[in-house]
Amino acid sequence: MIEITNVSEYEALAKERLPKMVYDYYASGAEDQWTLKENTLAFSRILFRPRILIDVSKIDITTSVMGFKISMPIMIAPTAMQKMAHPEGELATARAASAAGTIMTLSSWATSSVEEVDSTGPGIRFFQLYVYKDRSIVTQLVKRAEKAGFKAIALTVDTPRLGRREADIKNRFTLPSSLTLKNFEGLDIGKLDKTNDSGLAFYVAGQVDRSLSWKDVQWLQTITELPILVKGVITAEDTRLAIQAGAAGIIVSNHGARQLDYVPATISCLEEVVKAAQGKIPVFLDGGVRRGTDVFKALALGASGVFIGRPVLFSLAVDGEAGVRKVLQMLHDEFELTMALSGCRSVSEITRNHIIADWDVPRPSARL
């Protein structure tokens, strides 16, 4: 067995094990995949300003998210159809998150239902929501998530249509016949049809409501008492609108670079959103997090925590629940080490002064 020493090594192993259609679905981004590369590369343009001669013999990396104390500011993002990666899919991921003492977000398009995930045992879980044209389905789904003990709704707002994912078009992506979108089982919308294009794109065009607007964030608050996190914000303007609409938090996200290509990396958008939020609601980030150093950089720029997606899928494909546990542990350990070497003894001690970003450096003006 190869000794895996960092999160990124799981991807190459997963590529060897997964069917091409499945690997491509998990790994690919939209169109030219510029944003996909940028999501990870942008972290490399942020450097550290470590402080020295600080007693770091004791380090506390615990934090609080939406009132829940968790072991670290590293949580699991919603990723669809996890049983394509491993037979236990989302159930294995839920157990791994619970064992690590952190939060898992379940996708609407999971291959395990909210009830099945709840049955794995205790844990802090959020539910990611797409708003369907049939609002009765949305209401029913939110009520089920509430009943199953989920603690927040992460409303995805960047998908009125599915981004152009060319790998899925070439592969004519569809969900394997043995699997269904479990949350919609019995509603005749739990299967993806085979098409000459991407089966998921066809499904989204038929089911997801393109008219979704800020008033629907307020509507959601009339059908649930759960806090609403708005997932997919990357601008100050939309941050202010999210606060006005009653959002309880924001997830800075570009959908893993799977929607509109040539949007900035999420880490590049984070500070703009944090400044616009003015501390009124917490701001989180997903996209491109592959190291504990990335987690530190996000917190230094004002994030209250980060969510990881692809590392979970790839580790799940390689080693099931044990793989996901290892990814979480590696990021935990790397983050703790980064804090120690930066002179931070608690999450609250991480500040903007601990980093320097490329945009902080004045550029010489061009001569005419």
Which residues are designated catalytic? 255
204 is in an annotated binding site: no
Helical (H) or strand (E) element with 47: strand 46-48
Residue 128 among known ligand-binding residues: yes
Structure-token pair, residue 134: 């049939």
Per-residue exposure over 154-183, b if at least 16 CB sit within 10 Å of its own CB, e if not: bbbbbbeebbebbbbeebebbbeeebbbbb
Say if residue 209 carries a ligand binding annotation. Answer: no
Neighbours of 240 (CB within 10 A): 15
152 is in an annotated binding site: no
Say whether 45 counts as a known binding-site residue. no
Is residue 135 a known part of a binding site? no
- Is 156 within any annotated ligand binding site? yes
Instruction: State yes or no: 309 annotated in a binding site.
Output: yes
d(CA 117, CA 112): 7
The answer to the question of whether 222 is labelled as a binding residue is no
| 89 annotated to bind ligand | no
Residue 332 marked in a binding site: no
Is 147 annotated in some ligand binding site?
no
CA nearest 309: which of 348, 236, 242, 251? Answer: 251
What backbone torsions phi and psi does residue 24 show, to the nearest 5 degrees?
A: -60, -40
Q: Check whether 159 is labelled as a binding-site residue.
A: no
- The length of the chain in residues reads 368
Which tokens go with 137?
């389905």
316 vs 10: CA distance, rounded Å: 9
CB 292 within 8 A of CB 269: no
Nearest residue to 140 via CA among 131, 180, 149: 131
Is 15 annotated as belonging to a binding site? no
- The answer on whether 97 is annotated among ligand-binding residues is no
Q: How far apart are CA 107 and CA 275, in angstroms?
A: 29
Place of tokens 């065009």: 205
Q: What are the tokens at 36?
A: 């996909």
Q: Name the one residue in this structure whose structure tokens are 């609002």.
A: 135
Residues at the binding site for FMN are: 78-80, 107, 128, 130, 156, 231, 253, 258, 286-290, 309-310
Residues at the binding site for glyoxylate are: 25, 165, 255
Residues at the binding site are: 25, 78-80, 107, 128, 130, 156, 165, 231, 253, 255, 258, 286-290, 309-310
